[in-house]
Chains A and B, each alone.
Chain A
């Protein structure tokens, strides 16, 4: 197991390098003069300013040299300085990341707690009325676009009924955590889609496993239905859920851009959106590093979960 972890960590480093290189190539592929896009309209009058910018950030060099320049700074712990937001990238990440982790994290946990039992229930009572109601609700919430759901929720529950706040929690982290009135609607908007997704996969997976031979064998040997269910079926059924949780880790870090826009809650997604629109490369790269780390971590955790959940899974010579 230790060997497995070490190998995976080394691979993680390779992945991070790969991600950043691909990103650099894509960034350089965007046509148009970055200096002009960043420095704004007033800079056109002054070509010397544009040249200075290009020199400072390595745009007058080939992409690989520029990449090494950036990598060098990164290894010294310097993520760079945002070109348009007038703060260091690390302080930007430091202020936006906790907000997003909190919002998306809460909604994922909520979704998990609600969806898995529903999925199991649906599989057990397959084709019953409960199954149909939840299935149709799942489809409905999955199909409705986030900005639509968010806007309607605000209109109904905030502007009309005054139950919840019309925007996400404002102010510092403390407020974000305690202001449940403002937190509810964004969390619900996010959770609805996640619940739909998780419950569908749980249902499908549980159904698959319930039909397996080992279930029949266990019952033939006299095990009760519930014992069969909880001890054997559930563990195996959670494999797709482990995958989905692993996949949701980058989402927890990267935020949900549309929900953040609709609810005026500037987290990581919104930060990236601003940076991408203004071609603020240092911020974009900082964001992508965070997401890459989260992706790799999520993948690793999911793989460990597979091995734990299904003893038949063995990792040989990875």
Chain B
């Protein structure tokens, strides 16, 4: 029969899938979530795209060898053709090979920074919102203070103190991104802590930690997931912005943002192969992650699952 995902259309209100007695033993939340996830074709497409891109970036260089360290001026700015499927860039590096190697860094930075930022922000925000009172005040004022410090400033300070390696960039991005997550989750937590099920749990003697981790966080999951997917996009885009400002990864390494940025310098020359592969790669990854995020959100939504 049709799953509730397909027919979930609120006006008129969707009926729960099957009224009546549940058949057989209840399945775990994971299994239920997985089922909902797998029914979303877009999520499968997104997953496929991501798997392909990861393979392209991490396995690709072992199959398709290019020299990304030595400059080869005889080969600069070649259009796509034999030997160079996507042409070469201004230093003679093969663009396809560079896309793979650059992708490794973009993906690593994006995912690592987003995971770190989301985790930090969720815990901080949930604790602040749940406890309220003085705890909330102190924690959120600290967030306010840190939010006022511009990312650019932080990046400049870090770059001046340490050479710009991948790890530093991940830290800079994570340390500025967790703040918005915490604000969002705290807003949700404030609203959720007075919901009936939380109050019921407290009445039954549940602890605050249980409240935060078993009830507040999972029920704010929709917001957490959407925010996390935007965090990955943000992290990748922030590295692009940092490259534009001259604070990105140092040569001869690069990431998609660096490729896009230096490619844009040639926009009037018509070297489209230096611009669009990186741009399309960024967009594809962000779209794929969003598809997955959407589906994850749906699969966590308890009311959409069949028991």
Mark A residues whose CB is within 8 Å of B.
Answer: 7, 11, 14-15, 18-19, 22-23, 26-27, 29-32, 123-127, 135-136, 139-140, 142-148, 151, 155, 197, 200-201, 204-205, 207-208, 210-211, 215-216, 219, 225, 229, 236, 239-240, 242-243, 246-247, 250, 254, 257-258, 272-273, 276-277, 284, 287-288, 291-292, 294-296, 299, 302, 306, 310, 312-318
Contact = CB atoms under 8 A, between A and B. Distances in A.
B152 A306 contact: no
A219 B10 CA distance: 11
Interface of B: 6, 8-13, 132-134, 136-137, 140-142, 144-150, 152-154, 156-157, 160-161, 180, 183-184, 187-188, 190-191, 194-195, 222-223, 226, 230, 233, 237, 240-241, 244-245, 257, 260-261, 264, 267, 279, 282-283, 286-287, 290, 294, 297, 301, 303-304
A136 B290 CA distance: 9
A254 B150 contact: yes
Given A11-B141, A146-B241, A225 B230 contact: no
Contacts of B142: 18
B279 A247 contact: no
B253 to A, nearest CB: 19
A250 B148 CA distance: 8
Given A210-B10, A306-B191, A145 B152 contact: no
B11 A225 contact: yes
Contacts of A246: 183
A264 to B, nearest CB: 16
A218 to B, nearest CB: 10
B161 A312 contact: no
Given A148-B279, A247-B180, A272-B150, A22 B157 contact: no
A30 to B, nearest CB: 5
Contacts of A236: 191
B152 A276 contact: yes
Contact of B290 (A139, A239, A312, A317): A139
A208 B148 contact: no
B144 A315 contact: no
B137 to A, nearest CB: 5
B184 A29 contact: no
Contacts of A239: 187-188, 191
B223 A240 contact: yes
A254 B149 CA distance: 11
Given A250-B148, A313-B194, A147 B244 contact: yes
A316 B193 CA distance: 13
Nearest to B221: A208
Nearest to A284: B153
A31 B146 CA distance: 22
B39 to A, nearest CB: 11
Nearest to A197: B230
A166 B245 CA distance: 21
A318 B294 CA distance: 35
Contacts of A30: 156-157, 160-161
Contacts of A197: 230
A295 B134 CA distance: 20
Given A239-B187, A246-B183, A277-B156, 18 more contacts: A30-B161, A145-B260, A147-B261, A148-B260, A204-B297, A205-B222, A207-B10, A211-B301, A225-B10, A225-B11, A257-B245, A258-B245, A272-B152, A273-B152, A302-B187, A306-B190, A313-B194, A318-B132
Given A145-B257, A204-B223, A243-B183, A15 B145 contact: yes
A257 B10 CA distance: 42
9 contacts: A11-B137, A18-B141, A139-B283, A140-B283, A145-B241, A145-B282, A216-B13, A247-B147, A316-B132
A197 B286 CA distance: 13
Contacts of B160: 30-32
B12 A225 contact: yes
Contacts of B9: 125-126
A219 B142 CA distance: 43
Contacts of B184: 240, 243
A243 B145 contact: no
A15 B161 contact: no
Contact of B194 (A29, A139, A216, A314): A314
A148 B149 contact: no
A275 B180 CA distance: 26
Nearest to A145: B240
